[in-house]
Amino acid sequence: MGSAIGLGNVWRFPYLAYENGGGAFLVAWMVGLLVLGIPWLILEFGMGKMFQKGAPGAFAGINKRWEWLGWWPVWTAFLIVAYYTVVMAWAFRYVISSFSMQWGTGEAAAQSTGDFFYGTILNLSSGPTDIGGMQWLTLGMLAILWIGMFIIMFKGANVIGKVAIWTVAIPWTLLMVLLVRGLTLPGAVEGLNYYLNPDWSALATGKLWFAALSQIAFTLSVGMAGMYAYGSFLTRKSDVNNNAMITGFANNATSFLAGFAVFSTLGFLATSLSVAVPDVAASGLGLAFVTFPAAISMMPAANGFIGVLFFLTLIFLGIDSAFFLAHGGVIAPLNDKFGGKLWKWTAGVCTVGFLAGAIFCTNAGLYWLDIVDRAVSFYGLLITGALSCIVVGWFWKPEILRNELNATSDVKLGAWWDWLIKLVVPIGLVFVMIYGGFAEDIPNAYGDYQIGPFNGSHMLWIILIVGLILSFVLQSIRTKGEES
């Protein structure tokens, strides 16, 4: 649950709901959860549990020739955690800045929070090849994060499980505090109307279904290898079907509540700046590091305290997703394959993850983060997710897995689940990939970037192909751990 509930619940979902018909979006998003998200989650948890291995070992369990399909999302997980931790390092810097409200209070400060983020925090350069210098404070925060993660991860899933109880409970509590603060601000109701008022005509648009299915695909932490490993940590008698449903429902419920905290605050910001809510509505990094600080600047009291609470919420939301990506997504598969001491793999992955993250701490870091995020968190996740379902559905027998899972669950999967895996999930993921990906990144170079002879779209394919080649290389290696 901790891995599924992350930053996207706060900074992506509410904006998508607002932009795609409010309550109508929520209907499509719940349909997506039931027909795409939960079945896919059951597949990943279930294969991990059945083969008692992470993603590569689970696919090798079907047939050795499919092992690469388990390694490709490991590449995705590694690159995501490398930049995800940098976003958390930025949040860390904002926690410190909040104590003295470094970006200022009042209307003038609220209108220049972009300068604080892009200037003071990032010192953003002119493009991805203009690396400039290192943001040493961010790099220092990143080092602290990775050291903390190493301490929690090196003993394995037992300790992570105990820590996750806190890293789920704390951000939930903080989110509730922010929600109450948001709802008691003037203008909150105006914001909630934009968030939830349904526009049913939007249900007939491809844009809404793209938004809903993409949110489900990206929010549950599937397609990033880690869920296979988490499934492998479960005992034989564990109820995977129910665990997947709890994870899915709790994740969506958290998103729903986070939307109240976000849009009540945006309603307040719009009211206090005398503009309309659409003028301040934002998502992603812009919401977290530009718009929300602006709202905090305009708050009538305890600005710094609210700032600390908000950015701590982001850090706590991110931390268990980071454990999940690093441990379940990368360390566990490597340990499965090559054997050896868990702490050594943990130290190695933490060190390489920190070094890889250093690029995102440079003055060009945001550009590289954008490129890598698009490559792995969008294309990587969707391609490997669709291929995984196709392989399980058409090149193996999904009923073998279904029968195994039904044996320890009161909630029985029927043959309908096989068809969701064979058809509905891959078609949904391919639709998202074509509608929001290929249709944009093939005719137009992604992001107007130019890196030597390559444009932004070339970089996306290069990153994906490097991951694919590494996956085949790892598959070709025979190890003692594998034989055992």
Instruction: State the CB neighbour count (10 A cutoff) for residue 115.
Output: 12
Q: Find the shortest distance in angstroms from Cβ 176 to another protein.
A: 15
- Determine if 466 is a binding residue for another protein (CB under 8 A): no
Strand partners, 134: 362
Separation of alpha carbons 264 and 223, rounded Å: 32
| Whole-number Å distance between alpha carbons of 422 and 39 | 11
Q: Is the CB of 138 or the CB of 264 nearer to another protein?
A: 264
Cα–Cα distances in angstroms (integers) from residue 94 to residues 280, 310, 410, in the given order: 20, 9, 46
* Lookup: tokens for 30: 């719940």
Of 201-209, 364-372, 407-415, 434-442, the segment contacting another protein by CB under 8 A is: 407-415
Looking at residue 249, its amino acid is F
Do the bridges between strand 454-455 and strand 450-451 make them parallel or antiparallel, or are there none, so unpaired?
Answer: antiparallel
Q: Which long-range contacts link 198-201 to residues 24+ away (Cβ below 8 Å)? A: 198/21, 198/22, 198/23, 198/24, 198/26, 199/21, 199/22, 199/24, 200/21, 200/24, 201/21, 201/24
Whose Cβ is closer to another protein: residue 156's or residue 286's?
156
326 binds another protein (CB under 8 A): no
Segment 338 to 367, residues that bind another protein, using CB under 8 A: 342
Residue 234 CB, shortest distance to another protein, in Å, is 7
Among 5, 47, 74, 157, interactor with another protein by CB under 8 A: 157
DSSP 301: S
Q: Which stretch binds another protein (CB under 8 A): 119-127, 191-199, 277-285, 466-474?
A: 191-199
235 burial type by CB count under 10 A (0-12 exposed, 13-18 middle, 19+ buried): exposed
Range in contact with another protein (rule: CB under 8 A) among 62-70, 174-182, 187-195, 283-291 = 187-195
Q: Which two tokens stand for residue 40?
A: 């896919």
The site map against another protein for 7-36 (x = CB under 8 A) is ---------------xx--x---x------
The CA distance from 95 to 90, in Å, is: 9
Establish if 235 lies at the interface with another protein (CB under 8 A): yes
Stretch of 83-91, 141-149, 227-235, 424-432 contacting another protein, by CB under 8 A: 227-235
Of residues 123 and 205, the one with the C-beta less far from another protein = 205
Cβ-contact 243, 409 below 8 angstroms: no
The number of residues making up the chain comes to 484
Q: Does 196 bind another protein (CB under 8 A)?
A: yes
| Beta carbon nearer to another protein, 62 or 405 | 405
Contact 413, 405 (CB under 8 A): yes
Q: Name the minimum Å distance from CB 80 to another protein.
A: 23
By CB under 8 A, residue 484 contacts another protein? no
Smallest gap from Cβ 182 to another protein, in A, equals: 14
Record the tokens describing residue 294, joined without a space.
Answer: 């602006």
- The verdict on 192 binding another protein (CB under 8 A) reads yes
Q: Which residue's CB is nearer to another protein, number 172 or number 233?
A: 233
Binder among 274, 300, 301, 410 for another protein (CB under 8 A): 410
Using rule CB under 8 A, residue 197 touches another protein: yes
Cβ pair 129, 344 in contact under 8 A: no
Tokens 């603060």, located at residue: 181
Residue closer to another protein, measured from CB, 41 or 312 = 41
Q: Which residues bind another protein (CB under 8 A)?
A: 22-23, 26, 30, 156-158, 161, 189, 192-193, 195-198, 233-235, 237-239, 242-243, 245-246, 249-250, 252-253, 256, 342, 408-411
